[in-house]
A and B are shown apart, each in its own frame.
Chain A
Amino acid sequence: MENFTPVSASIGGALIGLSAVMLMAFKGRIAGISGIFSGAAFAEPGDKAWRIFFVIGLIAAPLVYSAVTGAMPAFEMEAGWPLIIAGGLLVGFGTRLGSGCTSGHGVCGLARLSPRSLVSVLSFMGAGMVTVALIRHFIGG
């Protein structure tokens, strides 16, 4: 547990919560990233612009962070290309089929005590942990 970073994790989490509250307070919408991103292409025409601006803000964040701190955030990809593509397809399809991801179900849904979101979070956390366990400790290593 030498890489345990509870302080920065909590600060980052608080900002995510702040963003979710902002979006609901001003726009009346749930900060579910998979839904916002998908809707930037597939939502009704009048419901697209704010999604695109939200996505631009997400992409700009590391650049703002590095302008302020002078360092780019770390990014270490362990997966090779076949897993990157397979993982991307599963995340995209799964989050739409299951109506949400870590933000929509994991933050906004659990904050509303939604039973559906609890089922979702337990399912994707469990599946993620089993997948990592299989890859790291049973198949490869």
Chain B
Amino acid sequence: MAKSILALIAGLVFGLGLVISQMVNPSKVLAFLDILGDWDPSLAFVMGAALVITSVGFAVLKSQPKPVLAERFQFPGDRPIDAQLATGAVLFGVGWGLVGLCPGPAITALSVGGVQAAGFLAAMAGGMIAYELISSRLARPAAQS
């Protein structure tokens, strides 16, 4: 129960951040990505402020033994930089540039963006399902060997 309420509040705070910063507006995001046009650098301030808070917060937490409601901190391990990482990021970036929505805003926009936001979110879910199908198919022969 406590975990569910905490997750709900964390999602709400994150979503309010997306709304107040206007990242939920595709046109605002495209204005940030349009460095050759009438460039609007606002979204750099979103990432900058988020980074300051997160850097300090994570640094403090690393001196703690464990999270309040869980057994351990699950920081990602040190995996190598590979083609999969870069290819995925480039595909994501192209999709982001085509529309102006990344995953967080795509979800939050569901309650403001009408059928266009719903259509984008459905397509995004479709892309994720396609990844799960392909990766499980690729993983199967490797798991048998």
Contact = CB atoms under 8 A, between A and B. Distances in A.
Interface string B109-145: 1111110110111111111111110010000000000
B107 A3 contact: no
Contacts of A53: 4-5, 7-8, 11
B69 A91 contact: no
A33 B130 CA distance: 18
A75 B113 contact: yes
Contact of A132 (B28, B33, B55): B33
Contacts of A106: 47
Contacts of B125: 37, 41, 92
Given A9-B22, A14-B53, A65-B20, A88 B99 contact: yes
A135 to B, nearest CB: 7
Interface residues of A, number: 109
Given A31-B14, A33-B103, A13 B89 contact: no
A54 B97 contact: no
Contacts, number: 484
B17 A16 contact: yes
Interface in A90-141: 90-99, 101-103, 105-112, 114-116, 119-121, 123-133, 135-137
Interface of A: 1-6, 8-31, 33-34, 37-38, 41-42, 49-51, 53-65, 72-79, 81, 83-99, 101-103, 105-112, 114-116, 119-121, 123-133, 135-137
A65 B45 CA distance: 21
Given A21-B58, A76-B26, A98-B84, A90 B94 contact: yes
Contacts of B14: 15-16, 19-20, 31, 33, 54, 57-58, 61, 103
A24 B26 contact: no
Contact of B75 (A57, A112, A126, A131): A112
Given A11-B20, A17-B49, A24 B92 contact: no
Interface string B45-71: 111111111110110010010111111
Interface in B81-110: 81, 84-104, 106-110
A60 B95 CA distance: 25
